Amino acid sequence: MIKWCLLLLAVFLLTSVGCATRGDVMALNDRLVGLERQGAELEQRNRALQREKERILSRMGEFKKTREAEEMDIRDQSASLRATLEQFREDIQRLNGRIEETAHGIRAAMEGLDARIDRLERYINLDSPAAGSPGIPDMAPRREPETTEAPEMDRGREPGLRYPTRESVPPPADAAGDRPRQPAERPRSIDGQYAMAKGLFDRGDYVAARRAFQELIQAAPRAPHADNAQFWIGETHYRERQYEEAILAYQNVLEQYPNGNKIRASLLKQGLAFYMLGDKSNARRILEALIHQYPSSSEANIARNKLNAW
């Protein structure tokens, strides 16, 4: 097409100028050939550029798809990481709650152990002979005081327990030694009763422990250990999964011993007992009351962890 246009242009020029020499025609023809060659080269370059453009557009499309896929993978990985972190937080909260609960149980056990050690030390000191090695009871038979009053070591005990009297002590052995005197059974003090009951609880004999704690409360409902005994009654029910009975036992602590040292623990375990029964509403209400009343206590920290885990 371009060639024919150039030929027409050349003919027009020749006719308009007049007669042209043969050399002019040849020169014009050479120019036409050169222009034609340049046009072909330009067309070839144009096709090459078009192919390059298509290749670049194709690469851009592939890059866009790759970038979108990578962004989607990153979003998925981010969501998975967030879910994993959230799971880690929940696991840490649960572990903190278990640690706090275990620490609370250890502290309670240590308090009971310290009290038992103190009571045993007092018992050993009271049973020691006036002379000889301290802490070693005299194995020789001794005559009990000829009185109906409590022995010296029993003075100050809570009322309601059985004390020895002269009539309850077996007669001493006769001169021939035919009938040796049987030692009288020593009545338990409140401390001894509590230590015995707590020992049964620690060994897992919850029925016997509950009976022993109940006997202590019946004998001395206002003794220093009475509130602890009522709390451990609730614990025996809780350990046996008798959650309704445990709730009532903890409620007795709250109502009968409002100034005792087991109020916080009773609120905590009462809330947990409601939760074990499936009553999350009451469980949450009690634990929130515990946190509100004793915000800085270890029991409140356990309650917060439990509420966050629920």
Do residues 239 and 199 both lie within one domain? yes
Report the SS3 class of residue 240: coil
119 and 56 inside one domain: no
Alpha carbon 93 to chain centroid, angstroms: 4
Do 303 and 220 have their domain in common? Answer: yes
d(CA 147, CA 48): 129
50: domain range? Answer: 2-14+22-76
C-alpha distances (whole Å) from 286 to each of 205, 241, 295 are 29, 19, 13
Are residues 112 and 9 part of one domain?
Answer: no
Number of domains in the chain: 2
Residues 36 and 123 in one domain: no
Q: Are residues 70 and 191 in the same domain?
A: no
Residues 30 and 108 in one domain: no
Answer yes or no: do 211 and 64 share one domain. no
CA dihedral over 199, 204, 207, 213, signed as positive or negative: positive
**Confidence band for 228, pLDDT divided at 50, 70 and 90:** very high
What would the pLDDT profile of 252-273 be if each residue is shown by its tens digit? 999 999 998 999 999 999 999 9
pLDDT tens across 150-202, in order? Answer: 333 333 333 333 333 334 334 433 334 444 444 444 446 888 899 999 999 99
d(CA 14, CA 12): 5
Least confident range of 12-16, 26-30, 186-190, 202-206: 12-16
